[in-house]
Amino acid sequence: MNRFDYVRAGTVAEAVAAASAPDAAYLAAGTNLLDLMKGGLTRPARLVDVTHLPDLDRIERLPEGGFRVGALVRNSDLAYDTAFARAHPSVAEALLSGASAQLRNAATVAGNLMQRTRCPYFYDPASACNKRQPGAGCEAQGGETRLHAVLGWSEHCIATHPSDFCVPLVALDASVEIEGKGGTRSVPLEAFHCLPGDAPERETVLEPGELIVALRLPTEAAAFAENSRYLKIRDRTSYAFAVVSAAASLRLDQGRIAEGRLALGGVALKPWRAREAEAVLAGAEPNESTFRRAADAALADAKASGDNAFKIELARRLIVRTLTRAVAGTPERMPALPASAFEEMLHA
């Protein structure tokens, strides 16, 4: 690990000013950043500690009915907040399916949005990686690609985004509140993360020094609370990143789908909003035939990035199952195994 300056900011303005210096990074819980630093994968010259900034650890119910979640709110605190979990159960389920309880107790909302890919070639300094060193190449291509992207990838990068939390947030039109030298701006979460294209080293739309201060969920997102689920296929139910995940939220009216939302995780370098599938769902009867057509639409542009074509069919089946669960209704209590696609079998 390289030597670095440490700055403890007292205000958001102080944090932004300090982090605008070259090679600066923000430090909150550090559950991802410190691992990257220890492995020599990132070498910030300055760490700006934001853990003591005032008012960024609040969960606020807004007057119009939406939620504003401060950047420093812990993942566990958000998942177990009764009002938030009741309004956005798929988000709570996604949070409780990610990482271990110890990590959830430390990790923050903003840190979850900013976590970097778990591609093993990115984590291996001996492997060529365009994310670590632009122009070095992507050694994942032609390598072990079981967990890599099937949507939105390019010849420069085939990694995936690891977050569970972000998947239902994208489906529910969440936005990110950002503070920078130019003031405050808001960015839809769907547009916050970048696909690799020919510049995979740029992972978000954040400019140097910009700080996430809050996450917002609009009032209309709560309209899906009664029929909203998040499911995740993973190698170990106890603690593993998604091979594929799906968030489905439906608004039903007189036996039809008035509106449907669908997003996928584990398939691209960003949480993937399946708008083509949503168009299929709108106005349709909530049955398996509709769900299969929606799954086909969601994955129409999918293609293997190596030995991972199975993920396309796996995602297709998971979409059908997640939509089926959503139609059945949000459980009154959080499932014993949050987001498990196989919980029904375990209790049969």
Q: Given a cut of 70, is residue 208 above it in pLDDT?
A: yes
Share of the chain above pLDDT 90, in %: 96
- What is the pTM for the complete model shown? 0.97
The closest of 241, 232, 237 to 148, measured between CA atoms, is: 241
Q: Given a cut of 80, is residue 343 above it in pLDDT?
A: no
Q: Given a cut of 70, is residue 347 above it in pLDDT?
A: no
Say if CB 75 and CB 104 are below 8 A apart: yes
Confidence of residue 237 (pLDDT cuts 50, 70, 90): confident
Token look-up 């994955």 returns 299
For the chain, the helix, strand and coil percentages under 3-state DSSP, each to the nearest 5: 30, 20, 50
Residue 304: helix, strand or coil by DSSP? Answer: coil
Q: Given a cut of 70, is residue 348 above it in pLDDT?
A: no
Domains and CATH numbers, the chain: 5-52 (3.30.43.10), 59-114+163-220 (3.30.465.10), 224-346 (3.30.390.50)
